């Protein structure tokens, strides 16, 4: 008896142990297919809204989800309809298999399969033939799944792998494809529909057979009421909801951004990638782009990038105006494209000059014609303003003062500081930085420009745009906090484009590249930095398309539509920035400048209490502003020197403006700086003959010069005249249309040739500040 009990005990223990051993050996020999294999890739917004999906090599679309991203209603309907005992069985439900076998024997056909959800996952992972051998293999794979994974993991595999018709796999894909909503937002009726679709995905596709799909859905709903999982009232209400015929559409939000992010997903070997993109911000940006592109020329596109200042997160990204448009080059990502930045680099230039102590916001600059060896920069508007402040030069985007300032910082140093601050400037192969870089003679991207402009809202620290929340925060010092604040304060005072209002205090700058190939507008608010590019991606010019008119309105539309944020005010002035009055032409503090030397009073923002004087002229030191000392006879008030016989001399000083600016000065200012003529006691000689007023000879406003006719086969010639003036003191300096024509050191005249027809402004001034001006006309031959 004991022997028999022992034998039975041996069987009860040994047989299961042997089976377990055999299972472990089989599990090791026939390893499970990887249920977490990465196939298609899904790019998500910050709130997990799908932006764009990329099918796998077989054309299958799958939007991976986790269990908590699916509505509990769907899980209830799925388990009630497919596998009520899912959480109790070990992967195989013997009772369900016996029931299915009995139904097959009685009916002669398969009525129910008896498969558990685990077995269905096994069949999805490794399809098999529908015979006894295939069923046994499926059961073995189901046991393996239960051995290696938890119930939650197996259920998640089903949620992601179940077929829903055509190339659609997974409940999230099906929910967006057939219901146009995430699986977390399903109603009772929708949950029941998606629970039944995998039973016959091809026959029940809502886009082809909505009536049949609704009948099967209703069966699921009735079962939910019968089992008491949902109340009859809930089910009755769900039954009234029709199954609508819907067409499968892939999400296509920020398509070029998503395409860029796909590379990150592949690199990380993940099936889905959650980005920093804000769905609402992206929607408003795309809406603005769709609206504005209609007013642009054919084949023109738009690029927009929105970065959150505090975090550096990219909140909106429009790489092109219309992704589907071949004519507008919709496949070209203009956020990453290297283009000429036009004048958009000027704020950084003046910010660096502030940091170097070269200028303050009201420093006197010269906007006059200049020629630097073989380079003669011109203003965009083709005229000159004369005396301007740093703020005016930046707000009006004047080219001449910017080129002059770049000479002082040096192009190489400027580009190096930009790169160190995160703004990468590129040049053609073997080309070196030169003065044209400040006018757009180089390349950069919209992304880098936005990065640079973010420094104006972040105390001088630029932030690298972050596409993923787990990317590190990368900051670079571009400007000091004080210089950044002064520049953004200047940029805030630029008038908004026509039809827009700058109620948010946006600091913004535009740019237009040579030949109208690129139009830019970059702006900074408390919360965001926004960059806009317009033009043709193929580089074809768009005559008349300038930054202020083409990109500016888009910039303000975007700012107006972006979600509002409560953030720190970038207009909070740093302690190192103070305000003071300064005087032109010397550029120094009004408090330390004698009233008679303060010809023009300006209010300036200064850094660290520094008030740098007006910069000297780089090429002609004698043309620079400064105090000029002279002596007068106190009895006559006329000028004298040591050679004069006046019994007494009195020392006087006058604040002189840079000579190159004098043709643009008002007559009242010219009177202030004009030196007295020499006293009669001074010896005769040109240096002391000051009694004659400076005046041009032979030329006046009625002068007309005629160009000679060109002879056949000969190049055209011009008309040559002698520019001569009488009177004045010292050398005579001649300007033609504001550009230096030459210096007549002996007052014997200067020969000049006019080669083109038109009106010419002629100006002559002497070392005492006397000026004479006329306008002559050169006429083409009849």
Query: Do 489 and 347 sit in the same domain of this protein?
Result: yes
Please tell me whether residues 355 and 488 are part of one structural domain.
yes
- Of the candidates 71, 82, 513, 624, the residue annotated as catalytic is 82
Structure confidence at residue 208 (pLDDT): 86
pLDDT in tens, 380-426: 565 778 899 999 999 999 999 999 999 999 999 999 999 999 999 99
Catalogue the E-assigned strands of 332-390: 364-367, 386-389
Q: Is residue 640 part of a domain?
A: yes
Write down the number of H helices and E strands in the chain: 20, 28
Q: Indicate if 66 and 147 belong to the same structural domain.
A: yes
Q: What share of the chain in percent tops pLDDT 70? A: 86
Catalytic residue among 71, 115, 340, 343: 343
Instruction: Report d(CA 353, CA 489) in Å as an integer.
Output: 16
**Whether residues 12 and 35 fall in one domain:** no
Is 329's pLDDT higher than 80?
A: yes
581, part of any domain: no
Query: Is the model more confident about 135 or about 702?
Result: 702
Q: Which residue has the tokens 């043309």?
A: 623
Are residues 704 and 642 located together in one domain of the fold? yes
Residues 93, 20: one domain?
no
Q: Which residue, of 188, 215, 239, is where some domain finishes? A: 239
CATH of the domain at 662: 2.60.40.10
702 exposure class (CB count in 10 Å sphere: 0-12, 13-18, 19+): exposed
- Among 192, 214, 239, the domain boundary falls at 239
Residue 474: both structure tokens together: 């990368």
- Residue 82 falls in the annotated catalytic set: yes
Domain at 376, CATH number? 3.40.710.10
Q: pLDDT per residue over 128-171, tens digit each?
A: 666 666 577 667 777 777 777 888 888 998 999 888 887 888 89
Does residue 368 sit in the same domain as residue 497?
A: yes
How many distinct structural domains can be found in the chain? 4
CATH code for the domain of 35: 1.10.3810.10
Instruction: Report the pLDDT value the prediction gives residue 381, as an integer from 0 to 100.
Output: 61
pLDDT, mean of residues 694-708:
82
Q: Which of the given ranges, 84-88, 707-711, 776-780, has the highest pLDDT on average? A: 776-780
- Domain-ending residue, one of 529, 546, 561: 561
Range of the domain at 61: 31-39+54-239
Same domain, 330 and 412: yes
Residue 466 lies in a domain: yes
- 80 in a domain, yes or no? yes
Q: Are residues 70 and 178 in the same domain?
A: yes
pLDDT at residue 36 in the model: 65
**Domain assignment present for 583:** no
Among 107, 83, 111, which Cα is nearest to 95's? 83
The Cα 426–Cα 447 span in angstroms is 14
**Interatomic CA distance for residues 243 and 245, integer angstroms:** 7
What are the Cα distances from residue 257, in Å, to 52, 305, 473? 9, 10, 20
Q: Look up residue 337 and give its DSSP letter.
A: -
Q: Is residue 748 part of a domain?
A: yes
> Per-residue DSSP letters for 97-143?
HHHHHHHHHHHSS-S-----HHHHHHHHHS---SSHHHHHHHHHHHH
Is the model's pLDDT at 111 over the cut of 50? Answer: no
Do 682 and 556 share a domain, yes or no?
no
Rounded CA-CA distance 438/442 in Å is: 8
Task: Classify residue 345: in a domain, yes or no.
Answer: yes
> Residue 519: inside a domain, yes or no?
yes
pLDDT at position 662: 78
Residues 406 and 510 placed together within one structural domain of the fold: yes
The answer on 202 and 66 residing in a single domain is yes
- Mean pLDDT in the chain? 85
Indicate the burial class of 102 (C-beta count within 10 angstroms; 0-12, 13-18, 19 or more).
exposed
In terms of Cα–Cα distance, which of 638, 554, 434 is closest to 546? Answer: 554
Q: What is the dihedral of CA 171, 172, 178, 179, to 10 degrees?
A: 110
* Confidence check: pLDDT of 628 > 90: no
* Cα–Cα distance measured from residue 529 to residue 523, given in angstroms and rounded to the nearest whole number: 6
């Amino acid at each position: 008896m004991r022997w028999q009990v022992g034998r039975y005990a041996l069987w009860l223990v040994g047989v299961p142990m042997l089976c377990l051993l055999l299972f472990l050996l089989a599990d090791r020999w026939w390893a499970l297919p990887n249920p977490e294999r990465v196939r298609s890739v899904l790019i998500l917004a910050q709130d997990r809204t799908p932006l764009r999906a990329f099918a796998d090599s077989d054309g299958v679309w799958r939007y991976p989800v986790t269990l908590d991203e699916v509505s509990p209603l769907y899980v209830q309907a799925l388990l009630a309809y497919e596998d009520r005992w899912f959480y109790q069985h070990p992967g195989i439900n013997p009772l369900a298999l016996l029931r299915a076998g009995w139904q097959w024997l009685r009916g002669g056909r398969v009525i129910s399969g008896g498969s558990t959800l685990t077995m269905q996952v096994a069949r999805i992972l490794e399809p098999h033939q529908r015979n006894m051998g295939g069923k046994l293999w499926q059961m073995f794979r189901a046991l393996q799944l239960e051995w290696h994974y938890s119930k939650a993991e197996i259920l998640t595999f089903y949620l992601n792998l179940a077929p829903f018709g055509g190339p659609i796999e997974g409940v999230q894909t099906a929910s967006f494809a057939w219901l146009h909503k995430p699986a977390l937002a399903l109603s009772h009726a929708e949950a029941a529909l998606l629970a039944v679709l995998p039973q016959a995905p091809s026959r029940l596709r809502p886009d082809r057979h909505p009536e049949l799909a609704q009948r099967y859905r209703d069966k699921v709903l009735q079962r939910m009421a019968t089992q008491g999982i949902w109340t009859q009232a809930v089910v009755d209400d769900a039954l009234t909801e029709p199954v609508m015929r819907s067409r499968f559409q892939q999400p296509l939000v920020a398509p070029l951004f998503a395409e860029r992010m796909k590379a990150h997903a592949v690199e990380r070997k993940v099936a889905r990638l959650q980005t920093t993109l804000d769905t609402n911000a992206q929607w408003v940006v795309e809406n603005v782009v769709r609206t504005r592109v209609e007013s642009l020329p054919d084949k023109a596109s738009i690029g927009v990038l929105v970065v959150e200042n505090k975090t550096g997160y990219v909140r909106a990204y429009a790489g092109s105006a219309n992704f589907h448009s071949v004519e507008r080059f919709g496949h070209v990502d203009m956020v990453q494209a290297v283009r000429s930045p036009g004048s958009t680099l000027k704020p950084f230039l003046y910010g660096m000059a502030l940091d170097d102590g070269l200028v303050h916001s009201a420093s006197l600059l010269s906007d006059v014609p200049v020629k630097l060896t073989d380079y003669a920069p011109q203003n965009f508007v083709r005229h000159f303003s004369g005396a301007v402040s740093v703020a005016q030069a930046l707000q009006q985007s004047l080219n001449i003062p910017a080129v002059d300032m770049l000479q002082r910082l040096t192009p190489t140093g400027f580009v190096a500081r930009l790169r160190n601050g995160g703004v990468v400037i590129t040049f053609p192969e073997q080309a070196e930085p030169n003065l044209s870089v400040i006018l757009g003679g180089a390349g950069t991207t919209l992304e880098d420009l936005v990065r640079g402009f973010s420094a104006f809202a972040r105390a001088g620290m630029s932030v690298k745009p972050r596409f993923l929340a787990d990317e590190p925060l990368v900051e670079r010092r571009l400007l000091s906090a004080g210089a950044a604040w002064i520049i953004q304060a200047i940029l805030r005072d630029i008038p908004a484009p026509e039809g827009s209002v700058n109620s948010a205090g946006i600091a913004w700058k535009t740019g237009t590249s040579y030949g109208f190939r690129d139009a830019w507008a970059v702006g900074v608010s408390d919360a965001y930095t926004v960059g806009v590019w317009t033009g043709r991606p193929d580089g074809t010019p768009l005559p008349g398309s300038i930054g202020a008119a083409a990109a500016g309105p888009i910039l303000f539309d975007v700012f107006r539509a972006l979600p509002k944020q409560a953030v720190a005010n970038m207009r909070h002035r740093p302690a190192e920035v103070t305000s003071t009055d300064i005087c032109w032409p010397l550029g120094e503090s009004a408090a330390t400048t004698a009233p008679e030397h303060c010809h023009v009073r300006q209010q300036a923002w200064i850094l660290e209490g520094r008030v740098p004087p007006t910069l000297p002229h780089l090429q002609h030191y004698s043309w620079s502003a400064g105090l000029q000392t002279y002596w007068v006879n106190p009895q006559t008030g006329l000028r004298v020197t040591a050679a004069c016989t006046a019994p007494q001399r009195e020392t006087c000083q006058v604040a002189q403006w840079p000579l190159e600016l004098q043709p643009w000065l008002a007559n009242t200012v010219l009177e202030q700086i004009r030196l007295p003529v020499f006293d009669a006691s001074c010896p005769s000689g040109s240096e002391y003959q000051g009694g004659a007023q400076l005046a041009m000879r032979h030329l006046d406003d009625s002068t007309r010069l005629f160009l000679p006719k060109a002879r056949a086969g000969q190049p055209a010639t011009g008309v040559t005249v002698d520019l001569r003036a009488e009177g004045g003191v010292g050398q005579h300096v001649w300007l033609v249309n504001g550009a230096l024509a030459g210096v007549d050191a002996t007052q014997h005249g200067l020969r000049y040739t006019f080669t083109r027809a038109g009106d010419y402004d002629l100006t002559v001034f002497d070392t005492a500040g006397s000026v004479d001006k006329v306008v002559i006309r050169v006429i083409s031959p009849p």
